[in-house]
Structure formats: C-alpha cells, structure tokens
Amino acid sequence: MKQNIYDILQNNWGYSQFRPLQEEIINSVLDGNDTLALLPTGGGKSITFQVPALALDGITIVISPLIALMVDQVENLLKKNIPAAALHSGLSQREIDVILHRCIYSNDIKLLYVSPERLQTLSFKEKLSKMNVSFIAVDEAHCISQWGYDFRPPYLLISSIRDIFPNVPILALTATATPIVVNDIVDKLKLRNVQIFKQSFYRENLIYNVIETEDKMGKLIRLLKQFPGSSIIYVRNRKKTVTIAKHLHALGFSAIYYHAGLSADEREARQKAWINNQFKIMVATNAFGMGIDKPDVRLVVHLDLPDSIESYFQEAGRAGRDLKLSYAFLFFHNSDIDDFKKNILLSFPDIQIIKQTYKIISEYYHLKIGDGENEIFPFSINDILKNADISANDFYNSMIILEKAGYIASSEGIKSKSRLFFIEDKKEIYKFQLEHPEWNDFIKILTRTYSGLFTEYSNVSEENIAQKTNLSIEQVCNALNSLKELGIIDYIPNKGESTITFLMPCVDAENINIPDIVYEDRKKLILSNADALISYITNQTKCRSQLLLEYFGEESIIRCGRCDVCVSRNNVDLSKLEMDNIINIIKPLLLEKSMSENELLEHFSIMDEIKVIRVISWLIETNKIIRLPDMKLSWNK
C-alpha cells in the first residue's frame, strides 16, 4: 500500500515540498518504471530513493561504492527512526547474518545498502532472492560505464539482479554523466522503457574562475581575506593538506586539514568541527566531500589540478548549495600540466609490478593457492611495505588496478561505533542472571539502555555504560569482553581500521589477468579526460559555465558574464565611455555605504543590468571593490 509521499517527506525530513525533479523521479519509481536520474551535486539524490522506499511495501536495495557513504546514510536514517542497514567489509560474518535474517524473516528493514562486490557472492544472491524487494537503487551509476571517470568493474554485476527480480524496477542515480556515459548506463543496467530525468547542470549562483599564477599561496590568501565564510581548499596529496593548513593557521586563519590517512574518529571529528563552523577553512584531498551537505560554503579553491572535469564539477559544486552567490577558483601554472600527465602514466605501473604487488599481499597474509576467498584482513600499507622491495607509489597504484580487476577490495578505516548483540535469547539470559548474580545488575543496565539487543547489533557507548554502572571505561570493556568469552554476547569494539578483502581464491601471481578494460583502455580514457580538463583550464575564449555544460551534453547560448573568461571579454564588449559612466554611479554609492549586487542594480535600468554586472565583476577582479563578511560590496579605499 503506497503512502503519501508528501507526508513521508514532511514527517521524516521536515520539508513541505520537493526540490526540482525529485517528485517526478519518485513517481516514476512508484509507477514501476526503470528510471535514470541525473541530479548535480547537492540536488538531493538520496531523497529520490529513500522516500519511495518508505512509500512501498518491502525492502529497497541500495547499491553504493563507498563504505563511508553507506555508513553515513544508514546512521542518518536510523536517527530519523527509519530502519536501515548496510552490508560492508567492516562487519563480522555474524553481523551480516543477523542483518540478512532480519531482511528475509522480520521484514522490518526498509533500506539495505550493499556494495557491488557483494553481488559477486552466490550466498548473498541466494538470500537476496528470498527478500521482498520493492525496487533497486544504484547510486553513483556512472561507475558502471567504462567511459565514466570512476569506472568500477564490479558494477557490471548489478544487471545479474534482473535474473532474480525481472519485474522489480531499477532507479539509477548519478551527479555527473556525459551523454555517452548515460547511454552506457542504460545498456549495462539493461534498463527497459527507461524514464530519464535530467536537471540542468547550470549553477547560476556559482562563478567559476581559472587563474594561471606562479604565486598560488599569495592568491589564496587574498581570496580568503575577501571571502571570510566557509571554504574548501583541495590539494592532491596528504602532506600538502597539513603544511597549508598550518601555514594558514599561523597567518590567523581558522583552518583545519582532512585526508584519508587520518583515523576514522579523527576524520569524523574534523568534518563535524568544520560543519559546525568551529573552523572556517577545510584543506583536504578529494577524500573529503562525499555526502557532505553544508549549504553555506562560499569558496572552493583547487590549488592542484583535479582528476577530471567530472571530479572538478562535483568538488566545485560543494559551494553555494544554499543558492547564494559563491565562487570556485582553480589555480595552475604550466608545470602543473606536465606533472598531471606524468602522474597519470605513473598510476599505471608495469604489469609485472602489479603481479609483484599481488604476491606481496598474499604472502603477507600467508595465503596459499585457492585460499582466502571473501576473507577480510586488517590492512596497514606501512606494515606490508616494511620489508618489501617496491615503492609505496607503485604499490598503491597497483592495488587500485587489482581492485578494479576484481581480485581485492580495500577500505579505509570507516567511522563506526562499538556494537553489541545478545547471542542467547531472553529466556537463556534470565537463566544466566539467576545462576550468576554478579552479572545481574550489569546485564540489566545493558538491556534497559539499549533496545533491540536481542534482534540486531546495536551501537553502544562504553562511556555511557561506564556512567550508568559507576565503572571505569576500562572496566566496562573488560566486562563486555568477559561476557563475550562466556558466549552471552557478541561485542565488537570500534577499531576504525582499514581492511582488505580477497574477492576470489588466491592465485599464483604470474596467472593474474588484468583486462584491457581495466588497464590499456582505461589508460587511454584517462589521458583523453586529462586532455579535456587541460583544454578547459587553458581556454581563454569561452565562458566557463558554457564549457562545463557542453561537456555534460547541455547547450547554452548565454554566457555567465562573471567567470574569468567573461570578465576578460567584457572589457572588450564595453566601451570606455560605458564603463566610466557605470563606475561613476557605483563608486559614490559604495563609498557612502556597502551594498549587495541587487541593491546596486536598483540604481540602474533593467536594460543596463547585464552591463552593470560585467562592470561589477571587473571591479571585484581588479580589487577596486572588496566583499565584506556579510557578502556586501564596498569600494576599496
């Protein structure tokens, strides 16, 4: 029985209306159609599958490539009392079994998040076939296309679900896809009579700028002084995040850094501190940003070249989600372009090096030929490389290719809380309490503090338990471990460690097969994408927004009038007399008091607005006008 989608939206998310295209996409799913939705970053993709999941009977399967994003979304859903779960390599086999049992027999989970790799296992497919599935959502659907910037071969397994559920609709979602990728998604997912919804990629409030400069830090500091709001600064390596954040902090800026090498707890703490405005500036690698919905980011700066136009569009698109005027700057100099292409070639090590990497990994875990299928191991690149004769760069890049070839799956340490589950039923626990009165009070506090411990693994806080039992945290951990040894509970303390999973039985390294689609074809595609990015960066004649829209298959005859290219052209398009006349009106107004763009435009006729916007942009670029903390403009005296 379908529920009213407006009631669901209001009751669970507190919104009275949907964003553009969300309602149409949801209704398409509810009507049983295969659906492809292209919504830019910040367009509200998750609502389009979470709302119909609650409106329909049964369970929605959500396929997602990122463990951190899965865990984050499930955590947010549980806070709204929406029953959801995720299957990922950070869970024990017992936890996975409990979740699958609930999905099949209890039918109380509404959204089940899984990685595409899990579809590879026959045991999961067998259990999946027993579930009452309402529809299947494929997030980051561009990963299925060999022409997509983030192609992941395990995504090709998704279409096999059609054999299990031939009449269950599929909703595919992506934030960035070129026309060729869109066609490939439809083909690879075997979508039938597909309804395609595409929101324009045009961001009216976001101004793109590319600046060639040798003095990146000098330019950055000037920008940060002009834009005191929340900012993200992207760089390509972890060391830079630290050095730049510390340098900015020394200059008095409120800056913090973020990269995948930090522990899960530390990443979560830094992310929250930035979201809560304890720090204004986040200096980060591209590990930062997925699932972050901070609406008031005013500035995104790339100090290094991004991986591709798709990556750049997503990362820059984290600015201005509240639809207020925001800016994206990309700084480069010619040496960056040479280094960029060189690094691409280095990211494809020789095939023998890839085989050597596989051998190092399998020997480190003492795996014999035929062993290890679906086994999960704690993973530390530093420990593995301690006695290995291979560079860290070659090893890391080889692992990426082995992962794309389907041999292994790795995960950075994910943020997770300690988990607890009663193995015995209530009757046996009561009997245990009678026989062991010394445990009675402790077990009572556990069951009263956390509901559901007998049906599902529940997140627990050792600190919270310590407060209620008047024990130290160490004593609580020891008590929980003792109950685990007694076979009463399963207790999984939070470690947040990285893991590696062998997706297939261990093979002789010399028999490793790296398909062209993962290696040679991929290298050609990435080099082609690099050429497209370089063309975008070095362009000096066409509006930045127009170029981005064309890349994603949109036509635009209107220039934004405010990017670096448009500002440069505007100087030519306006005569000196026209510019002087406009400046002679703007200058005394801003000398008298600060104003917003709209307040300034009120002093001109509608017919002159485009010209005035051009002059304002030029005045800002030449530092004659400065932007104040409240985002108003003032003449730079």
DSSP assignment letter at 50: H
Q: Phi, psi (5° rounding) for residue 461?
A: -120, 115
DSSP assignment letter at 388: -
The 3-state secondary structure of 96-148 reads: HHHHHHHHHHHCCCCEEEECHHHHHCHHHHHHHCCCCEEEEEECCHHHHCCCC
Whether 538 contacts 338, CB under 8 Å? no
**Structure tokens of 147?**
């022409």
Q: What is the pLDDT of residues 268-286, one digit of tens each?
A: 889 999 999 999 999 999 9
DSSP assignment letter at 596: -
- Strand, coil or helix: 51: helix
Half-sphere exposure of residue 3: CA atoms within 13 angstroms, side-chain side:
17
pTM of the model: 0.80
pLDDT for residue 2 is more than 60: no
**Structure tokens of 488?**
């009463």
Which region holds residue 491: left if phi is over 0, alpha if psi is between -120 and 50, else beta? beta
Whether 317 contacts 176, CB under 8 Å? no
- Output the pLDDT for position 601: 84
- Output the pLDDT for position 452: 84
Distance, CA of 245 to CA of 345 (rounded, Å): 29
- Output the pLDDT for position 72: 83
Q: Where is average pLDDT lowest: 211-215, 413-417, 557-561?
A: 413-417
Q: Which residue has the tokens 């398909």?
A: 515
Q: Which helix (H) or strand (E) holds 207?
A: strand 206-212
Q: Which helix (H) or strand (E) holds 502?
A: strand 499-502
Q: What is the pLDDT of residues 489-536, one digit of tens each?
A: 999 887 767 788 888 899 999 999 999 989 999 999 999 999 999 999
Distance, CA of 463 to CA of 446 (rounded, Å): 13
**Structure tokens of 375?**
């086994």
Beta bridge pairs of residue 73: none
DSSP assignment letter at 575: -
Q: Which residue has the tokens 């990922």?
A: 88
Instruction: Give the Cβ contact number of residue 329 at 10 Å.
Output: 22
Beta bridge pairs of residue 258: 284
Q: What share of the chain is helix, strand, coil (3-state, %, to 5)?
A: 50, 15, 35
Taking CA atoms, 555 is separated from 59, 209, 558, 564, in Å, by 39, 20, 9, 20
Average of pLDDT values for 2-9?
85
pLDDT for residue 623 is more than 90: no
The average confidence (pLDDT) of the chain is: 90
Q: Phi, psi (5° rounding) for residue 410?
A: -115, 155
Q: What is the pLDDT of residues 347-401, one digit of tens each?
A: 999 999 999 999 999 999 999 999 988 788 888 888 899 888 999 889 999 999 9
Pick from 69-83, 298-312, 406-420 the range whose average pLDDT is largest: 298-312
Q: Which residue has the tokens 């090709």?
A: 156
Distance, CA of 617 to CA of 568 (rounded, Å): 10
pLDDT for residue 47 is more than 90: yes
Instruction: Give the Cβ contact number of residue 232 at 10 Å.
Output: 25
Whether 251 contacts 222, CB under 8 Å? no
In this structure, the chain runs to a length of 637
Tell me the DSSP string of 333-367.
Answer: -HHHHHHHHHHHHHTS--HHHHHHHHHHHHHHTTP
Q: Which helix (H) or strand (E) holds 381?
A: helix 381-385
Residue 482: exposure state from Cβ atoms within 10 A (0-12, 13-18, ≥19): middle
Which region holds residue 196: left if phi is over 0, alpha if psi is between -120 and 50, else beta? beta
- CA dihedral sign, ordered 303, 306, 310, 315: negative
pLDDT for residue 175 is more than 50: yes
- Strand, coil or helix: 297: strand
Q: What is the pLDDT of residues 432-483, one digit of tens each?
A: 999 999 999 999 999 999 988 998 888 898 989 999 999 999 999 999 999 9
- Output the pLDDT for position 1: 43
Half-sphere exposure of residue 405: CA atoms within 13 angstroms, side-chain side:
21
- Output the pLDDT for position 413: 59
- Output the pLDDT for position 227: 85
DSSP assignment letter at 595: B
Taking CA atoms, 576 is separated from 149, 181, 611, 623, in Å, by 45, 46, 12, 18
Closest residue by Cα to residue 47 from 12, 78, 81, 75: 12
Closest residue by Cα to residue 38 from 25, 52, 55: 25
Radius of gyration (Cα) for the chain, nearest Å? 27
Q: Where is average pLDDT lowest: 55-59, 218-222, 234-238?
A: 218-222
What one-letter code names the amino acid at 502? F
Distance, CA of 473 to CA of 347 (rounded, Å): 45
Taking CA atoms, 17 is separated from 6, 39, 235, in Å, by 7, 17, 37
Q: What is the pLDDT of residues 390-426, one digit of tens each?
A: 998 899 999 999 988 889 888 765 666 789 999 988 9
Confidence band for 263, pLDDT divided at 50, 70 and 90:
confident
Average of pLDDT values for 67-90?
87
Average of pLDDT values for 177-188?
94
Average of pLDDT values for 181-197?
95
Our measurement of the distance from residue 75's CA atom to the centroid of its chain's CA atoms, rounded to an integer in Å, reads: 15
Alpha helices in 544-602 (DSSP H): 544-551, 564-573, 576-592, 597-601
Average of pLDDT values for 260-266?
80
Distance, CA of 612 to CA of 623 (rounded, Å): 16
Whether 119 contacts 165, CB under 8 Å? no
pLDDT for residue 608 is more than 80: no
Whether 587 contacts 579, CB under 8 Å? no
Pairing of strands 84-87, 230-234: unpaired
Q: How far apart are the first and last CA of the chain?
A: 66
Average of pLDDT values for 147-161?
87
What one-letter code names the amino acid at 102? R
pLDDT for residue 287 is more than 90: no
- Output the pLDDT for position 109: 94
- Output the pLDDT for position 571: 63
Q: Which residue has the higher pLDDT, 85 or 556?
A: 85
